[in-house]
Amino acid sequence: MQFGPNQNRRFKSADGAYSTVTAREYDDSQITLTDHEARIVLDHFGEASILRGAVKLDPDMAAKEFTLYSTGETIGLNIIYPKAEGNELRLYLRRNFKPEGGLVFFLFLQGDKLWIGAMTEAEWRAGSADMVRDDSDSTYQEAILESSKIKIATLKERDIYVRDRMVALTSMENSGYLCELNNTHELFISRRTGNHYVEAHHLIPMAFQPEFSESLDTVPNVYCLCPNCHRAVHYAQKETTRTILENLIGKRDVLSDFNIGVNDLYALYGVEDIV
């Protein structure tokens, strides 16, 4: 599958693709590159440079250069069209790159280099989850009564966001100051507002604003959650986070506003299916 904003930010890449290595691929020492993986490889090397037929017909033409993640070492791997007809594209694994079955295999473009790598599913998900900490949500909550515009100075070394508190206030009013996941979740009364204490959560996290042309700080994209549900959507185990996300998008169709699918949303949080 194609990298989303989370993965491109993580690897500082322009584009990329990933999939799970199957036991069969490992045993056969070959990966069939499909969909976006194939697209990236063909665009990078040029379709005309791919050898059709066995490697031994032209070993120099079959050999392609990759940059190994994360060492940056240059390695050679063979890529060919093994069959006389059709566009099945095959990458041969060898000692310098032979990920085991179950690992996440990935390719990405950074500058003029095509990087290749593999890591465990746990490492993959943990890295994605790191990108979506979105500490700004809680800052937002604290600042909500302070002024009409909220300036978040910097998100790590990234951009400055100005947020409209009316967006969060409108979302909270719309929710009736209840948890949008489940309106029976128990809430305490905020000493400052006299309303139930709920937190504003951006379904598509504000951290990814640079990757979207539309503003992410909109009423539909902001959900009011009880503190427990809010922590859970960021930090819970995969299945719990997915259940919450699924439930939230079931309440209103936010994804089509931003032209992304459910698994793309999961990928932003590091809880996607990796196929």
Evaluated on CA atoms 238, 38, 115, 119, the torsion sign reads positive
Q: Which stretch binds Zn ion (CB under 5 A): 40-48, 62-70, 99-107, 137-145?
A: 137-145
C-alpha R_g of the chain:
22
Contact call for residue 226 and Zn ion (CB under 5 A): yes
Residue closer to Zn ion (CB basis): 51 or 155:
155
Q: How far is the CB of 182 from Zn ion (least distance, A)?
A: 5
Contact call for residue 91 and Zn ion (CB under 5 A): no
Tell me which H or E stretch contains 9: helix 5-11
End-to-end, the C-alpha distance of the chain in Å comes to 7
- The partner residues of 67 in beta bridges, in order of sequence, read 74, 115
Tokens of 266: 């999961």
The residue within the footprint of Zn ion, chosen from 109, 118, 181, 216 (CB under 5 A), is 181
Query: CB count, 10 Å around CB of 185?
Result: 16
Q: How far is the CB of 179 from Zn ion (least distance, A)?
A: 3
Build a one-symbol-per-residue string for 184-213: x at contacts with Zn ion by CB under 5 A, - elsewhere. Answer: -x---------------x------------
What is the pairing mode between strands 199-202 and 222-225?
antiparallel
Residue closer to Zn ion (CB basis): 67 or 209:
209
The residue within the footprint of Zn ion, chosen from 91, 109, 224, 229 (CB under 5 A), is 229
Q: How far is the CB of 225 from Zn ion (least distance, A)?
A: 5
Residue closer to Zn ion (CB basis): 63 or 187:
187
Residue closer to Zn ion (CB basis): 104 or 179:
179
The residue within the footprint of Zn ion, chosen from 51, 179, 206, 267 (CB under 5 A), is 179
Q: How far is the CB of 167 from Zn ion (least distance, A)?
A: 14
Residue closer to Zn ion (CB basis): 43 or 142:
142
CA 92 to chain centre: 27
Give the closest residue to 15 by CA, choosing from 202, 254, 35, 258: 35
Q: Which stretch binds Zn ion (CB under 5 A): 98-106, 152-160, 182-190, 209-217?
A: 182-190
210-249: b (≥16 Cβ within 10 Å) or e = eebeeebbbeebbbbbbbebbebbbebebeebbebbeebb
Contact call for residue 178 and Zn ion (CB under 5 A): no
Rule CB under 5 A: which residues touch Zn ion? 137, 179, 181, 185, 201, 226, 229
